[in-house]
Structure 1
Amino acid sequence: MGRSNRAGRTADRGRATAEDTPAATGPGGRTHAQGPLSRAVDSGLAELRPDRDRPAAWSLLIDGAPQSLVDLADPTHLGFEYQRRLGHLVDLVAPPGRPLTVLHLGGGALTLARYVAATRPRSRQQVAEIDTALTDLVRTELPLERGWQVKVRGADARSVLERTPEGAVDLVIADVFSGARVPAHCTTVEFTALAARALAPGGWYAVNIADGSALPFARSQVATLGAVFPELCLVADPAVLRGKRFGNLVLAAAHSPLPVAELGRRVASDAALGRVEHGRALADFAAGATPATDAAATPSPAPPPGVFR
């Protein structure tokens, strides 16, 4: 998927007891002078590598696969394509600056939680990240700013979603990966219905997935979200949509119309190519695809060998 196109992830290696922990440890954080860091976490070998272009930025890799980019000096910087597209949705879900209540399914280095906190002060956020060792690493080396209302729950994404009260959040962001694959139980109509239940009126559901070649998983996910939500759109690199390479696709869904035109303008302004599909074009894209259900779902496809080199 490349440096700026790797899907974020939540390790999903069994159910865990939910436990709220504060995500921040105060100001400061790792400096480039300290060099890279490698540490075993629950989901594999985590590496923090200094970014050559930004003096306070770090890339998080798990088993060599890029996961997140965090700039401690500028939490509004979103270095990966899929994160910028999710950032556009954060910007558009409500008027600028208005605080949000956000549920992040998948934590990684907490890049999107940082973005929400920086662009929408007083927002309340909960993050489901089952890899507690990774959360500890991030809290220590890449701490959040004091005062940001972010809690990390060490639990499986679906178990947290099941416990979320009805109508409790403005935005659910699902970025759930086990290794490099979306786990089956987080891909289904039943999972999507839980996300819809958690949303307040006017709320949105945003999903990051990865697929390639004929895009069977992506087409099924469009059908799956469409079985629950009447409004949806998809954002991806045109080469990914043509099946030319494996990469990320971001889906947005809601019960009221999405600002597709404005989203398209923002995507077009990015340095990386992107296209927004919706309406008839998206229906044609998913034509013949079957929604995934708990009874028959499978994980997303594994990336081709060498995709992260």
Structure 2
Amino acid sequence: MAAKLPESLFGSEPTSSMKVRASPSTSGTNNTHGGVHPSRQYYLEQLIVALRNDHTREEALHLLYKEIIEVYRLISTPELTESVSMRVCNALALLKCVATHPDTRMPFIKARIPLYIYPLLNNTNKESSHERLRLISLGVIGALVKAGDAEVITFLIENQIINHCIHCMEVGSVLSKTVATYVVHKILMQDEGLKYCCTFAHRFYALGHALAKMVENLPEELSEQQLQLLKHIICCYQRLSESPRACDGLKFCLPTRLRDATAINLLRVDQTTIRSLEQLVYNVSIGHQSTTKPFGKSLMHLLKG
């Protein structure tokens, strides 16, 4: 027998009743289970069971979709509280599971569900409740591209995901920037993705500007999160350098900091990234893609110790 699904992840509180105040179930001493009220925990468990069942999956996805679109009207207002943000993140976390599983990934794409996440990526507010939605939404897209499925990549390209990722690179936290850059790199690894970003100058320069700005804004001493972001940025640049047209453009817009001894020394323990940086510098220096150059001496003299 199919489980009776709740009308909302909000439990007994209707979805349409999102208020500035936190509901009793999300406040102080009434919170259990690591911040999830027992009634909401029960509803989430029901949804998880329903998502695993072919007969109830569509209904469960519809409920998750409702939770997401209900928050649209709050994105540009102060009413997006921490508790409301967490509730929508619950729905997004379950959607991420659907996006990750090979049996449900393509139905997820064919239902065009990622498009309902895009408004959460376009948000310009940097407060924590908004940033959380941006990061978890990017996580759903990251789960989709992780397998490198060409059909998934094509869908995302056709629906302008690169532009949304660039926006997140500009306004997001370090974590959001990192996930957005990871998504772009996974898309660039597909020939169609590389072609999309390099065929027209405005696309290349929009992406190049976003990548360069992130490099420019990194401090001298990098945290682990910032170092991870730098690695993804280098991977994007290296892949772009494999396009002759983009490589010519990189001669003028590749950040000089990527050839700086300080940045190179920060990466010295990661030989994979150092090799990507070495290949990037080599490709740009000759102006077009060439036979892969093995890790050589052009950067070695900048490594200290």
Q: TM-score range by the shorter chain?
A: under 0.3
TM-score for both structures, normalised by structure 2: 0.28
Relative to its length, the structure with more strand (as a share) is 1
User: Relative contact order (C-alpha < 8 Å, sep 6+): which is higher?
Assistant: 1
- Give the greater-gyration-radius structure (CA): 2
- After TM superposition, the score normalised by the length of structure 1 is 0.28
